[in-house]
């Protein structure tokens, strides 16, 4: 009986071909757009994480416990040699690089600007950050103690270019001041205001000597095989390297604004899904009610010849189920096609900055089937469920009244 009802419902929905196609297209377009939005958000999320971790931060960092709170010169990493040696032997770590950070002022012949003065290991840094790749003019650090790389915005502010002399002044560990003269070796462009306007990069050894903390470091940036590991709280890495008064933190803790953005993306998607699926449910209920009212006499006849209330309800729900299947197929095809095309071409937003992250390159929607398959599934469940109310209405019709009113 059930199989016959399923076949009956399939035949019924094609009685009004135009309405079924339009309903399927309407729901399908909604589903397709939701799938595309999800893929786009996934692409934006990946871009945000990539920009945050690959450009400079790394997937994780190790500092002295309270360094990030004060960013003072003194809380350097405790027992740095032990930590670096442990990192060498840690299988979860792909690369790492050590840094020194300090607030400083930079002076050119015409301007004085505040900067974060960063000492980098020119040999290991390219494995972890984009500094070398970000150099757009001049050259990367070669190990010379007088070379410095500055961001293109800072270069504009200072009216300085490759070969020009600038002076860095910073507080030393013993509270004295230290000034050193540098030659601009390179101009870099990260796409982040913080790095392009407020940072200057010199060699690690030079920075340590200038600040009076030779052999000490403030920060170790770590790269895992996958950036996602930086957000994996179950990773043993955090416990192993939060030792000797040091703390190991992943990128969600280091860049909470990115974590907030990602949460916002999830919430936005949930709100969009609720609105869209709400519209879908009302659309289907409306469509099925139209169908039920058109077939009042038929339902009257069905009841007259002995069809039970539950059977009629089941038939209308099965009609909704078939519309759901058609809609899910249409929506999935539309959604996957648009995602596939745009994942090849990318979508350019021009140059916008969100939470310090610049979207200056095309965003490529990501085809994540484990998430995307949920939307057709929800469409199937909700659209079928939307048939229950019209189905109950049809099932409860009084046969004589149904036939009388539809005449």
- By CB under 8 A, tell whether 16 contacts other proteins: no
Query: Residues 379 to 398: which contact other proteins by CB under 8 A?
Result: 398
- Separation CA 42–CA 361 (nearest Å): 15
- By CB under 8 A, tell whether 4 contacts other proteins: yes
Chosen residue from 183, 238, 297, 378 binding other proteins by CB under 8 A: 297
Q: Which long-range contacts (CB under 8 A, 24 or more apart) does 230-233 make?
A: 230/53, 230/59, 230/60
- Separation CA 296–CA 396 (nearest Å): 11
Shortest Cβ distance from residue 10 to other proteins (Å)?
A: 9
- Separation CA 119–CA 218 (nearest Å): 10
- Separation CA 92–CA 104 (nearest Å): 35
- By CB under 8 A, tell whether 82 contacts other proteins: no
- By CB under 8 A, tell whether 18 contacts other proteins: no
- By CB under 8 A, tell whether 267 contacts other proteins: no
Chosen residue from 99, 197, 303, 393 binding other proteins by CB under 8 A: 303
Which residues, other chains included, contact 8 with Cβ-Cβ below 8 Å and sequence gap of 6+? 315, 318
- By CB under 8 A, tell whether 293 contacts other proteins: no
Chosen residue from 45, 309, 343, 368 binding other proteins by CB under 8 A: 309
- By CB under 8 A, tell whether 307 contacts other proteins: yes
- By CB under 8 A, tell whether 401 contacts other proteins: yes
Handedness of CA 61, 65, 71, 72 (dihedral sign): negative
- Separation CA 231–CA 228 (nearest Å): 5
Shortest Cβ distance from residue 380 to other proteins (Å)?
A: 23
- The answer to whether 180 touches 210, Cβ cutoff 8 Å, is yes
- Separation CA 383–CA 229 (nearest Å): 38
Chosen residue from 12, 77, 104, 372 binding other proteins by CB under 8 A: 12
By CB under 8 A, the count of residues binding other proteins is 24
Cβ closest to other proteins, residue 293 vs residue 297: 297
Shortest Cβ distance from residue 405 to other proteins (Å)?
A: 9
- The answer to whether 247 touches 44, Cβ cutoff 8 Å, is no
- By CB under 8 A, tell whether 304 contacts other proteins: yes
Q: Which two tokens stand for residue 143?
A: 């190990």
Shortest Cβ distance from residue 42 to other proteins (Å)?
A: 43
- The answer to whether 257 touches 355, Cβ cutoff 8 Å, is yes
- Separation CA 284–CA 26 (nearest Å): 10
Chosen residue from 27, 93, 316, 403 binding other proteins by CB under 8 A: 403
Cβ closest to other proteins, residue 3 vs residue 177: 3
Question: Which residues contact other proteins by CB under 8 A?
Answer: 1, 4, 8, 11-12, 14-15, 297-298, 301, 303-309, 311, 398-401, 403-404
């Amino acid at each position: 009986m059930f199989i016959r009802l399923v076949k009956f419902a399939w035949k019924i929905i094609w009685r009004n071909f135009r309405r079924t196609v339009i309903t399927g297209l309407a729901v399908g377009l909604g589903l397709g757009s939701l799938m595309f939005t999800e893929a786009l958000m996934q692409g934006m999320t990946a871009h945000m994480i990539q920009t945050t971790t690959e450009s400079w931060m790394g997937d994780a960092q190790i500092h002295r416990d309270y360094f990030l709170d004060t960013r003072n010169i003194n809380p350097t990493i405790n027992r740095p040699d032990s930590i670096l040696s442990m990192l060498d032997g840690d299988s979860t770590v792909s690369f790492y690089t050590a840094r020194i950070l300090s607030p400083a002022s930079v002076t050119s012949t015409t301007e004085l600007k505040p900067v974060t003065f960063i000492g980098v290991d020119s040999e290991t840094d390219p494995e972890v950050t984009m500094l070398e790749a970000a150099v757009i003019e001049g050259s990367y650090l070669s190990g010379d103690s007088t070379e410095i790389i500055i961001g293109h915005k800072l270069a504009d502010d200072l009216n300085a270019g490759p070969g020009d002399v600038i002076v860095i002044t910073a507080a030393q560990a013993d509270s004295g001041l230290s000034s050193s003269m540098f030659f601009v070796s390179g101009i870099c462009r990260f796409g982040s205001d913080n790095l392009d306007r407020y940072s200057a990069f010199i060699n690690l050894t030079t920075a340590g000597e200038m600040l009076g903390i030779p052999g000490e470091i403030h920060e170790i940036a770590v790269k895992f095989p996958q950036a996602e590991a930086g957000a994996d709280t179950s990773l043993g890495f955090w416990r192993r390297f939060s030792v000797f008064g040091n703390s190991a933190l992943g990128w969600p803790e280091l860049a909470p604004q990115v974590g907030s953005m990602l949460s916002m993306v999830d919430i936005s998607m949930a709100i969009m899904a609720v609105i869209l699926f709400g519209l879908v449910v009302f659309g289907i209920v409306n469509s099925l009610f139209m169908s039920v009212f058109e077939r009042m006499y038929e339902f009257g006849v069905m009841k007259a010849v002995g069809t039970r209330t539950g059977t009629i309800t089941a038939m209308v729900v099965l009609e909704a189920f078939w519309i759901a299947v058609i809609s899910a197929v249409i929506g999935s095809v539309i959604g996957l096609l648009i995602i596939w095309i745009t994942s090849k071409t990318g979508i350019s937003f021009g140059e916008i900055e969100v939470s310090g992250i610049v979207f200056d390159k095309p965003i490529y929607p990501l085809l994540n089937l484990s998430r995307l398959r949920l939307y057709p599934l929800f469409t199937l469940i909700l659209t079928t469920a939307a048939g229950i109310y019209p189905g109950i209405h049809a099932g409860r019709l009084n046969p004589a009244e149904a036939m009388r009113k539809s005449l």
